[in-house]
Structure 1
């Protein structure tokens, strides 16, 4: 992991297309600005973790799944 110190209004380039800029620095918070191609998804890490967890839960087999109940619903 590369660790850098940056001041407000300074930034970092990743390759030729991605720029990360320090917008403001407050007491316990740093605001970042991102410039990247529109086809590149940028997510906060906690959102990516939450999405991964939801996907894992959605793909897990449902133990209480009852086929007879589904058949009853479909016959109506």
Structure 2
């Protein structure tokens, strides 16, 4: 990990198209600005971890959930079908 010391208003350039500007230091808080192309995703780690945890939780279905999904996806009975018979 590269560790740099910067003062408010100073910048760091990453590659050719990402600029990080130190906006303000107040107490224990640091405000930074990130200028990057739209194709570059920028996330706070705690948000990314929360989204990942929620996705993992949603991906794990219980046996009862799986049964309900199978029932919904099962072919419908033709008894109540509004389709005309093939021989008409």
Matched, 1:2 2:2: yes
Q: Which runs of 5+ in 1 are unaligned?
A: none
Greater gyration radius: 2
Q: Indicate the RMSD between aligned Cα atoms, in angstroms.
A: 2.3
CA distance in 2, matches of 1:39, 1:66: 37
Runs (4 or more) in structure 1 with deviation over 6 Å come to: none
Aligned to 1:27: 27
| TM-score, normalised via structure 2 length | 0.71
User: How many residues of Structure 1 are paired with residues of Structure 2 in the alignment?
Assistant: 74
Indicate the larger mover: 57-66 or 17-26.
57-66
| Structure of greater relative contact order (alpha carbons < 8 Å, 6+ residues apart) | 1
Tell me the alpha carbon deviations over residues 27-50 of structure 1, each in whole angstroms, 9 at most, x when there is no partner. Answer: 110000000001211111100110
- Paired residue secondary structure (1:21): strand
Normalized against structure 1, the TM-score is what? 0.81
